[in-house]
Amino acid sequence: MARTNDATSGASVSTDPAALIEAYYDAGWTDGLPVVPPTEVSIADMLKAAGLRGDEVLGEIAGRNTVVVADKVAINAVMAGCRPEYLPVVVAAVRGLCHPDFAYHGPASSTGGSAMVLIVNGPVAQRLGINGGNNAFGQGHRPNATIGRAVRLTMMNVMNTRPGFLDRATLGNPGKYSFCFAEHPDDLPWEPFSIARGFAPGDSTVTVYASNSLYQVYNQLAAAPEPLLACLAGALGNVGAPNVKGFNQTLVVLAGEHAEILRARGWRRADVQRFLLEHTRHRVADLKRAARLPGAVEPGDETTWRYVFESPDDILIVCAGGRAGSWSACLPGWGNKWTRAVTTRVEETR
């Protein structure tokens, strides 16, 4: 029999899984795809794997009068199809969403339709088989798919972030179903992303980041960092991107061939960040012609530059994807400095 709570009360008490799946969908407790009906046993197994009591508070969403407790997250992880050992990663991500720096309400509720991107680093990624290699953003890996899905179901069923209600996305994006990947651990051109975020070697972490979209960047001919990064700067600074004010974060994901160009030339993460900061810019005149800034074009606008980023640290850089193929990706952040990416340690039971 399905356990009942805020997310599942009112569902059919039928023991037929197909009937329960339909009941959960009719009640609005799914993301549109079938879910795994939770049971007392499956919920208890989830909590045990994370060393949590059901009534433990994992975080609060300020301004929404929402308290997130472990029991509710475990239920949604079961529905998403997680294995119990995945729950510590889900919990770390949920704690990140609740952190004041993430400022949940803005990216979760705005018309921009942000996906909550989860970047996993450290031993837990290898232990659970979270994909950071070929097709890192795509299908085929249960931990990637179900961990990200569990976070979205928790957002819907615990934080009440439902389409048309507290989720006001104009278009949304497919990453809102699930967007979870690992940084590739091999042949990094610099320290792992988690260490750059202030964590120790050997720590397992999850970074939560609100991204409006994803677009791949192709460059097959670049053999040196400067032309490759000039190409990335052009992608980051496209006039239709949400950010023209110069203050939000962005995420750059470098796949194998592009990362190797930087590694071979000895470029550090900070070198890449500074280059992208300096080269991602627009003339004010171009922004006005595209109606991204108000007012008529003035003579001085032709030689006045508007930079897309304020600080090198606004440019987050992760290495993931296949070792072959001349691709990287840009994931522009939700367009406001009120939200910042948050990295949380994964607390595992021993």
Q: What is the pLDDT of residues 128-166, one digit of tens each?
A: 999 999 999 999 999 999 999 999 999 999 999 999 889
Report residue 4's pLDDT band, with 50, 70 and 90 as the boundaries.
Answer: very low
Same domain, 131 and 236: no
The yes-or-no verdict on residue 12 having pLDDT over 60 is: no
The count of structural domains within the chain is 2
How far apart are the C-alpha atoms of 344 and 206, rounded to whole Å? 5
CA 225 to chain centre: 26
Q: What is the mean pLDDT of residues 110-134?
A: 95
Q: What is the CATH number of the domain that holds 284?
A: 3.30.1330
Report residue 82's pLDDT band, with 50, 70 and 90 as the boundaries.
Answer: very high
Identify the residue whose tokens are 């569990």: 150
Q: What is the mean pLDDT of residues 30-37?
A: 96
How far apart are the C-alpha atoms of 287 and 281, rounded to whole Å? 10
Same domain, 205 and 222: no
Same domain, 125 and 41: yes
The yes-or-no verdict on residue 268 having pLDDT over 70 is: yes
User: Can you count the helices (H) and strands (E) in the chain?
Assistant: 12, 12
Same domain, 74 and 116: yes
H or E stretch covering 95 = helix 87-98
Rg (CA), the chain: 21
Same domain, 244 and 350: no
Identify the residue whose tokens are 């939000």: 248
Same domain, 240 and 290: yes
Q: Mean pLDDT score of the chain, rounded to an integer?
A: 92
- Parallel, antiparallel, or unpaired: how do β-strands 315-319 and 250-254 relate? parallel
Same domain, 310 and 349: no
Q: What is the pTM of this model?
A: 0.93
What residue numbers bound the domain in which 171 lies? 1-211+339-350
Same domain, 144 and 245: no
* Selected residue with higher pLDDT from 242 and 314: 314
Same domain, 230 and 164: no
Report residue 211's pLDDT band, with 50, 70 and 90 as the boundaries.
Answer: very high
pLDDT in tens, 55-75: 999 999 987 889 999 999 999
Same domain, 298 and 347: no
Q: What is the mean pLDDT of residues 203-216?
A: 94
76 neighbors 8 (Cβ within 8 angstroms): no
How far apart are the C-alpha atoms of 133 and 266, rounded to whole Å? 23
End-to-end CA distance of the chain: 31
